[in-house]
Amino acid sequence: MSDRLPWAVVPLKSAQHANSRLSSVLTSTERQCLFEAMLLDVLSALGDTTQLGGILAVTDCPVARRHFRRVGVKLLNDPDEAGLNAAVAQAAYVLEQQGVESFLTVPGDTPAVTAVEIDRVASSINESRGLVLVPARDGRGTNCLAMSLPLKVPPLFGPDSVDAHITAARRQNIKAQLLSLPGFGFDVDTPDDLLRVNEFSQASKTNMYLDGIRLDQRRIGLETGIRSEFVVMQ
């Protein structure tokens, strides 16, 4: 592990509360299985990176913690689930105390992210020592936030967070760099997103799960109310 290289921060809510906006097309059990499949894809990408000093996950989710422990990810408790901004700020403080110089966030619902994309963000923040953003597909939300430590700009995830981060950075005379990365920019948040996952071959576990529950047929009304018994493969 290196303190010079950026660390990845993976904040995750519990599997039971994840993907709530998909409740119109997926049952609670299916959403939890999807949560696990996407996490496995994200972990696969993180495991292939070469420009990270380490990985710190912020979660109290037993399912996620089991997978993180299996691959040696450092864990930070999130007992209150106070929200994404609080989780990232907490992780940044812990990393700063350990001498880490910068970090980048990797959401658990970005199954199409690649190791190349993560390494590009890591290299960019390592060189700029400022602030790097990867916008979501709509250009308004922030899917990845990379910053130097100590924090000079607070995490401001939420509606129009790209503009919020840029504005906050300008107040501190910090230049914000924007990177357009298709895998990193694709987060699974709506039913329409589910139908686009197959555009990304790297999301292998997620695609396998969605194929298993035959979501495409359910979408056009051929199947309704199916409960999947698909088990995510380790």
* Strand residues in 113-195 grouped as ranges (E): 131-135, 142-148, 176-178
Q: Looking at residue 2, what is its pLDDT? A: 54
Residue partners of 99: CB distance under 8 A and separation at least 6: 3
Q: How confident is the model at residue 90 (pLDDT cuts 50, 70, 90)?
A: very high
Domain range annotation of the chain: 7-219
Q: How confident is the model at residue 215 (pLDDT cuts 50, 70, 90)?
A: confident
Q: Give the model confidence (pLDDT) of 38-56 as tens digits.
A: 999 999 999 999 999 999 9
Residue 1 reports pLDDT greater than 60:
no
Q: Give the model confidence (pLDDT) of 98-113 as tens digits.
A: 999 999 999 999 999 9
Give me the CATH code for the 7-219 domain, please. Answer: 3.90.550.10
Average pLDDT, the chain: 90
Which pair of structure tokens corresponds to residue 150?
């100590």
pTM of the model: 0.90
Q: For the beta carbon of residue 115, count every other beta carbon within 10 angstroms.
A: 18
Q: Looking at residue 110, what is its pLDDT? A: 97
Residue 117 reports pLDDT greater than 50:
yes
Residue 233 reports pLDDT greater than 90:
no
Which residue from 48, 155, 147 is spatially nearest to 103, judged by alpha carbons? 147
Q: Looking at residue 130, what is its pLDDT? A: 93
